[in-house]
Amino acid sequence: MSKKRRLKRFLKDGRTVMVPMDHGVSKPISGLEEIERIIREIDGIVDAIVLHKGVAKSIGYVEEMECALIVHLSASTCLREPNEKVLVGSVEKAIKLGAEGVSIHVNIGSKTERDQLRDLGIVSEVCDDWGMPLLAMVYARGEGLNERDPELVKHCVRIAYELGADVVKTAYTGNVESFSEVVEFAEIPIVIAGGSKKGESEILREVAEAISAGACGVAIGRNVFQHKNPRAMANALRKIVHESLKEVIV
């Protein structure tokens, strides 16, 4: 299958709602105890779910999902240096699992930045060889850095673009004006991260602002799978992203 065909599975009408559920490697986190139940609730609403390979191969329902599967290739734990990501998977394995894409995490400014940049560059070439879309999750995360700083976010999206990613996930800068400038720095689709758990109104406002600024969608995990009603939250995100609604009530 070509990269273009795979991209269409989760980048529909140029927009996408992704739900990363790869947090369990970093640390045990509430909301993922019944991960299959959450996946079943939001399947058919979201466009893609991001999982580590172990979850993807152990949950039978993954093969039945209507939405796309993106296999995450990076990991670290909270017990040492959470910003120092290493590769724990391969593009070839993701293909064998039936994935439509892979993702890799890069923290600019971290102590192992050079290793993470190298991994991004190499994985992007392997993805090109196999026709596999690559989602690069790139953040400015180092001592003294503000990951929402517009100049740093511009740098992040440019790095993803220059090193061969097909889609980049990064932090929202906090307002439409500055994020509109960020969008100009990459010729690939940009999705915003949800970050830490927030109130409904705050996260939905940020999503609406990002879409109006030119983002193509969202990759939001905790604010969906930790929500009291994940399906309702996923529906709200879908309406904002795919229908360009400004205000949605969960």
pLDDT tens figures, 48-73? 999 999 999 999 999 999 999 999 99
- 248 pLDDT exceeds 80? no
Sign of torsion over alpha carbons 81, 82, 86, 88: positive
Strands (DSSP E) contained in the chain are 16-20, 48-51, 68-72, 74-75, 86-87, 101-108, 134-140, 167-170, 190-193, 217-219
Q: Which of 22, 43, 119, 166 is catalytic?
A: 22
Has 22 been annotated as catalytic?
yes
Helix (H) or strand (E) holding 207: helix 200-213
**CA pair distance 100, 170, nearest whole angstrom:** 20
pLDDT, one tens digit per residue, over 112-170 is: 999 999 999 999 999 999 999 999 999 999 999 999 999 999 999 999 999 999 999 99
The pLDDT of residue 1 is 79
227 DSSP 8-state letter = S
Tell me what percent of the residues of the chain surpass a pLDDT of 70: 100
Mean pLDDT of the chain: 96
Q: Is 225 helix (H, G, I), strand (E, B) or coil?
A: helix
Q: Which of 53, 85, 154, 169 is catalytic?
A: 169
Instruction: Please report the domains of the chain, with CATH numbers, ordered by start residue.
Output: 3-243 (3.20.20.70)
The pLDDT of residue 247 is 77
Supply the pTM of this predicted model.
0.96
Q: Which of 53, 85, 139, 239 is catalytic?
A: 139
The pLDDT of residue 198 is 84
Has 139 been annotated as catalytic?
yes
Region 31-41 average pLDDT? 95
Read off the amino acid at residue 78.
C
Assigned token pair, 245: 């609604």
Tell me what percent of the residues of the chain surpass a pLDDT of 90: 93
The pLDDT of residue 244 is 87
Region 198-223 average pLDDT? 95
**CA pair distance 19, 194, nearest whole angstrom:** 10
Q: Are strands 68-72 and 217-219 parallel, antiparallel or unpaired?
A: unpaired
Has 166 been annotated as catalytic?
no
